[in-house]
């Protein structure tokens, strides 16, 4: 296993290019199951989650190849219908095969993902939506076993705007008979990207990006070519890296409209942020002010940037409150940040973050993808060396993070543990 070693104290300078959005690519990959033939997705990040999803598809008889950020998916040989435990347990997003397999093959067997580092994370909304569309579902030996003799479109109302359940429902409804109206749908840009991909396959999805998505089922879809959107969480992480180091960096190939909530908070904290087309410029300051945050579904402040933002707030003047409303227990980075000298107290789903003059380098452990990014950010400003172990988490969502930060002037390397 590798670890990442960061020596703190460098102001970051220069430009960094943002890759394609992992969370858009994953459902787009499974949406390819809705048709037979070769689809091509460009601007695909070279990440472990993308490789895992490729393995999930390969178990179904699909042939996939990822070469220079271009992903080719050939579903001509689609023959299986099972997403097994060994893959689903490493990546929950494997559940994205449920809707497309049901719609295209009439059956699907998907391992239940179980709990995760952030608490229970149920999949009841996915299951209920498939049942509403006419599937029969049983839970058998830890698997969701689903069957349908033709899905039928109908109104579906979610109690929570779940990204994953919205994506699965949009995919399944695309080949259903009639119209499906999804009420209280997730509005995340990744849902809009999925809808655009399905429409480029000949589908009829309207309203993506709003809380009501209308899917008119079609008889068949065809393979398509699609360029995916920029990764807003990667971009947000580099924005915070510029802010926390008091640096001056340009974030290129980003989509500023997808990051409004973070940009507003950073500006309130006194950080200079300018947007021009697909470039976001950040000018850090010596003294940053504390600004409270409440995570919420898009367009609110993303839960996937909560850990990184908390690192910034540990050295911001004043006290602030960070409330996590999307997931029940997403503070696994807190004990590690405390080991580096941060002043953070947890009360339920709220973190009270006090000001410390500096963080100090320490051996720390990455507990999940975004928590690892938060620890790298902490290492960038900590006194001395920070050794981050279990960095396989970071490879799920940040392509070449050592190279990108290194090119901006950070002292960072990956070494075998």
Catalytic residue ranges:
116
Cα gap 212→194, rounded to integer Å: 15
How many residues touch ligand UD1 (CB under 6 A)?
20
The verdict on 368 binding ligand UD1 (CB under 6 A) reads no
Cα gap 409→341, rounded to integer Å: 24
The two structure tokens encoding residue 129: 């939506």
Cα gap 191→163, rounded to integer Å: 7
The verdict on 230 binding ligand UD1 (CB under 6 A) reads no
The verdict on 395 binding ligand UD1 (CB under 6 A) reads no
β partners of residue 182: 156, 213
The verdict on 234 binding ligand UD1 (CB under 6 A) reads no
Per CB under 6 A, the segment of 120-128, 133-141, 257-265, 344-352 that binds ligand UD1 is 120-128
Q: Which is nearer to ligand UD1, 75 or 303 (CB)?
A: 303
Q: What are phi and psi of 26, to 5 degrees?
A: -60, -50
What 3-state DSSP class applies to 69? coil
The two structure tokens encoding residue 348: 């339920």
Per CB under 6 A, the segment of 74-82, 158-166, 306-314, 387-395 that binds ligand UD1 is 158-166
Among 38, 179, 216, 327, binds ligand UD1 (CB under 6 A): 327
Among 125, 137, 195, 293, binds ligand UD1 (CB under 6 A): 125
Q: Which is nearer to ligand UD1, 126 or 393 (CB)?
A: 126
**Rounded to the nearest whole angstrom, what is the least distance from the CB of residue 366 to ligand UD1 in the complex?**
16
The verdict on 124 binding ligand UD1 (CB under 6 A) reads yes
DSSP 230: B
Among 14, 122, 178, 406, binds ligand UD1 (CB under 6 A): 122
What's the angle, vertex CA 299, arms to CA 297 and CA 300, rounded to 5?
Answer: 60
The verdict on 156 binding ligand UD1 (CB under 6 A) reads no
The verdict on 160 binding ligand UD1 (CB under 6 A) reads yes
Binding track, positions 1-40, relative to ligand UD1; x by CB under 6 A:
----------------------x--x--------------
Binding track, positions 179-218, relative to ligand UD1; x by CB under 6 A:
-------x---x----------------------------
Q: Which is nearer to ligand UD1, 10 or 126 (CB)?
A: 126
- Pairing, β 82-83 against β 136-140: unpaired
The full DSSP string for 305-361 is GHHHHHHHHHTSBS-EEEE--SSS---THHHHHHHTT-EEEEETTEEEEE--S--B-
Q: Which is nearer to ligand UD1, 160 or 415 (CB)?
A: 160
Question: 239, 255 in Cβ contact below 8 A?
Answer: no
Binding track, positions 290-309, relative to ligand UD1; x by CB under 6 A:
-------------xx-----
**Rounded to the nearest whole angstrom, what is the least distance from the CB of residue 165 to ligand UD1 in the complex?**
5
Q: Which is nearer to ligand UD1, 125 or 364 (CB)?
A: 125
**Rounded to the nearest whole angstrom, what is the least distance from the CB of residue 279 to ligand UD1 in the complex?**
25
Which helix (DSSP H) or strand (DSSP E) does residue 275 occupy?
A: strand 272-276
Starting from the edge strand earliest in sequence, which strands make up the sheet with 136-140, in order? 82-83, 107-111, 143-147, 136-140
Residues 6+ apart with CB under 8 A from 211: 161, 183, 184, 185, 187
The two structure tokens encoding residue 73: 């998916």
* Interface residues toward ligand UD1, by CB under 6 A: 23, 26, 93, 121-126, 160, 162-165, 186, 190, 303-304, 326-327
């Amino acid at each position: 296993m590798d670890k990442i070693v960061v020596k703190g104290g460098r102001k970051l300078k220069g430009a960094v290019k943002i890759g394609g959005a992992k969370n858009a690519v994953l459902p787009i990959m499974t949406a390819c199951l809705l048709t037979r033939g070769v689809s091509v997705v460009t601007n695909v990040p070279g990440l472990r989650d993308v490789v895992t999803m490729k393995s999930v598809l390969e178990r179904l008889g699909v042939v996939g190849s990822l070469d220079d950020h271009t992903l080719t998916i050939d579903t001509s040989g689609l023959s299986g219908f099972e997403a097994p435990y060994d893959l689903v347990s490493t990546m929950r997003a494997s559940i994205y095969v449920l809707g497309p397999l049901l719609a295209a093959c009439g059956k699907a067997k998907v391992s239940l993902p179980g709990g995760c580092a952030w608490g229970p994370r149920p999949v009841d909304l996915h299951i209920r939506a498939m049942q509403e569309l006419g599937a029969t579902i049983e839970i058998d030996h830890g698997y969701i076993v689903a069957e349908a003799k033709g899905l039928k479109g109908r109104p579906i109302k979610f109690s929570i705007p779940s990204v994953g359940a919205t994506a699965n429902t949009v995919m399944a409804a695309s080949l259903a008979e009639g119209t499906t109206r999804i009420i209280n749908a997730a509005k995340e840009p990744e849902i809009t990207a999925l809808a655009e991909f399905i429409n480029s396959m000949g589908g009829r999805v309207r309203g993506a990006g709003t809380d009501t998505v209308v899917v008119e089922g079609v008889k068949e879809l065809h393979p398509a070519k699609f360029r995916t959107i920029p990764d807003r969480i990667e971009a947000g992480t580099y924005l915070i890296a510029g802010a926390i180091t008091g640096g001056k960096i340009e974030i290129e190939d980003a989509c500023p409209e997808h990051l409004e909530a973070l940009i507003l908070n950073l500006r309130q904290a006194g950080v200079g942020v300018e947007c021009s087309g697909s470039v976001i410029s950040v000018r850090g300051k010596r003294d940053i002010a504390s600004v409270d945050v409440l995570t919420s579904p898009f367009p609110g402040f993303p839960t996937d940037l909560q850990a990184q933002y908390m690192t910034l707030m540990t050295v911001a003047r004043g006290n602030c409150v960070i409330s996590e409303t999307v997931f029940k227990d997403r503070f696994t980075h807190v004990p590690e940040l405390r080991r580096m000298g941060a002043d953070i107290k947890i009360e339920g789903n709220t973190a009270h973050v006090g000001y410390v003059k500096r963080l100090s380098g320490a051996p720390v452990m990455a507990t999940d993808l975004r928590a690892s990014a938060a620890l790298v950010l902490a290492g960038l400003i900590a006194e001395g060396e920070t050794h981050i172990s279990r960095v396989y988490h970071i490879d799920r969502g940040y392509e070449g993070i050592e190279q990108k930060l290194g090119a901006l002037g950070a002292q960072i390397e990956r070494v075998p543990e």
